[in-house]
């Protein structure tokens, strides 16, 4: 039985087992790199002679994205998984595997204890890239683009749990269908679902709105169009009107934060609430604002106060999600877990005091040996400043190992 072009096999190479496309010998890393750096079209064009098309590209990306190479005991040159497999835990380990490392931009030569010569672009570039590329992360990004492009026309999206208990957004006489689509996108981003339209100029339904919604089709499909402002307010007990202009009306004026607090309180009591947005050109008329229970005004630059329609909706929608606490920092996918605020260390824990002290002693010893401290009486204060600087950066264990490797690499040629 012949193998299809999308079958991945582990092929023996001079530097170890490497995953390649069966029958063509094309390295998986080469396909992923091209698709990520130059685009899916460029990858398909470059590897078309190997039988790579859209159908064949997806299995290659899935293989890399899910790190199936681990089960095959095969890794790609330049991949971080290969660096880990070789047991190279620090920059020192990486350099030691060669007999010599040279740099194209200088006469720097770093001796090692291994074999072969590595010619690097620069020491700085080498220190930043020695641990390898996360090809599997690139593959996941390309895979999302590939699948998004294939199913975009049928994408509908979905409301979050509990969105039925959320305010209704009412767009009064919206002029552009594109703006309605962008409003729907903003609502979907922040957990709102119910949209009503009052006399949309370009009619309803409208395909332009669906395109601009970028997949928030569940809101477009559920939007209701009304002929009059009065009809659009039907069934609502409390509504607020957004405005950038002061109105000569005796009404409460709320910030977005205060308006959302009030709506959440009322919704919890079983009331239905709405937020009214005016047309793009002039906003709501004063007579329309008079029918609202409160006016919502955002803190803005007084010399440029007008927001476009989608921005105004985004502002209120974000406040809704923030107070509800139901969102996540960024997206969550098959390969991405919910994030918490704070520093991401990518799996390397913060450096211990022993590791920091070891680095300080290493650095200061080499600075002494190379005549950095020219004024002995100033040495204590300079050392204190150096230590404060490095402590302030909050380095991880990996970063301390890298810093020590750099110090060692800079000093070795002089010896």
Q: Are residues 298 and 210 in the same domain?
A: yes
Residue 337 lies in a domain: no
CATH for 389 = 1.10.8
* Cα Rg of the chain, angstroms: 30
Chain centroid offset of residue 351 CA? 26
Q: Tokens 């190379």, residue?
A: 370
Q: Are residues 296 and 205 in the same domain?
A: yes
Residue 402 lies in a domain: yes
Is residue 8 classed as helix, strand or coil in its secondary structure? Answer: strand
The pTM of the full predicted model, rounded to 2 decimals, is 0.56
Q: What is the pLDDT of residue 265?
A: 95
Q: What is the pLDDT of residue 152?
A: 43
Per residue, the 3-state secondary structure of 207-247, as one string, reads HHHHHHCCCCHHHHHHCEEECCHHHHCCCCCEEEEECCCCC
Q: Are residues 210 and 305 in the same domain?
A: yes
**Total domains present in the chain:** 4
Q: What is the pLDDT of residue 3?
A: 41
The residues that bridge with 154 in the sheet, in sequence order, are: none
Q: Are residues 125 and 142 in the same domain?
A: no
Q: Are residues 248 and 285 in the same domain?
A: yes
Q: What is the pLDDT of residue 326?
A: 72
Q: Are residues 180 and 300 in the same domain?
A: yes
Q: Are residues 319 and 231 in the same domain?
A: yes
Spans of the chain, pLDDT less than 50? 1-5, 149-154, 415
Torsion of CA 338, 343, 346, 351, to 10 degrees: -140
Cβ atoms of residues 172 and 288 within 8 Å: yes
Q: Are residues 67 and 146 in the same domain?
A: yes
Torsion of CA 80, 85, 87, 88, to 10 degrees: -20
Of 272, 303, 324, the residue that ends a domain is 324
Residue 332 lies in a domain: no
What's the rounded Cα separation, in Å, for the pair 411 and 108? Answer: 10
Q: What angle do CA 290, 204, 275 make, to 5 degrees?
A: 30
Q: Are residues 369 and 259 in the same domain?
A: no
Q: Are residues 175 and 265 in the same domain?
A: yes
Residue 348 lies in a domain: no
Q: What is the pLDDT of residue 26?
A: 87
Q: Are residues 47 and 120 in the same domain?
A: no
Residue 331 lies in a domain: no
Range of the domain at 115: 89-129
Q: Are residues 117 and 264 in the same domain?
A: no
């Amino acid at each position: 039985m012949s193998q299809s072009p999308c079958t991945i096999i582990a092929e023996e190479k001079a530097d170890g087992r490497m995953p390649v496309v069966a029958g063509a010998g094309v390295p998986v890393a080469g396909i992923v790199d091209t698709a990520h750096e130059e685009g899916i079209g460029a990858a398909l064009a470059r590897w078309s002679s190997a039988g790579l098309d859209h159908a064949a590209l997806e299995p290659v990306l899935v293989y890399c994205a899910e790190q199936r190479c681990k089960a095959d005991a095969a890794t790609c040159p330049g991949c971080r998984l290969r660096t880990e497999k070789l047991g190279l835990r620090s920059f020192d380990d990486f350099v030691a595997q060669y007999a010599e490392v040279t740099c194209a931009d200088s006469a720097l030569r770093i001796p090692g204890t291994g074999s072969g010569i590595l010619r690097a672009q620069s020491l700085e570039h080498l220190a930043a890239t020695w641990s390898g590329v996360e090809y599997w992360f690139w593959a996941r990004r390309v895979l999302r683009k590939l699948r998004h492009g294939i199913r975009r026309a049928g994408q509908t999206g979905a409301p979050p749990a509990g969105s039925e208990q959320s305010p209704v957004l009412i767009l009064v006489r919206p002029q552009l269908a594109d703006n309605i689509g962008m409003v729907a996108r903003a609502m979907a981003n922040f957990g709102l679902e119910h949209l009503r339209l009052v006399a949309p100029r370009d009619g309803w339904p409208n395909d332009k709105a669906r395109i601009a919604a970028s997949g928030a089709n569940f809101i477009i499909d559920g939007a209701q169009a009304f002929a009059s402002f009065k009809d659009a307010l039907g069934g609502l007990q409390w509504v607020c009107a957004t405005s950038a202009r002061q109105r000569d009306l005796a009404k409460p004026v709320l910030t977005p934060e205060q308006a959302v607090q009030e709506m959440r309180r009322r919704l919890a009591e079983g009331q239905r609430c709405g937020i009214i947005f005016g047309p793009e050109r002039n906003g709501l008329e004063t007579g329309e604002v008079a029918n609202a229970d409160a006016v919502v005004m955002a803190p803005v630059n007084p010399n440029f106060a007008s927001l476009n329609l989608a921005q105004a909706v985004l502002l209120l929608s974000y406040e809704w999600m923030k107070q509800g606490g139901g969102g996540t920092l960024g997206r969550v996918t098959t390969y991405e877990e919910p994030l918490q605020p704070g520093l991401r260390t990518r799996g390397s824990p913060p450096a211990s005091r022993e590791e920091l002290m070891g680095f300080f002693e290493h650095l200061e010893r080499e600075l002494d040996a190379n005549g950095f401290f020219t004024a002995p009486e100033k040495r204590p204060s300079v050392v204190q400043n150096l230590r404060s600087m490095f402590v302030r950066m909050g380095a991880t264990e990996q970063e301390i190992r890298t810093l020590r490797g750099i110090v060692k690499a800079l000093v070795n040629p002089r010896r």
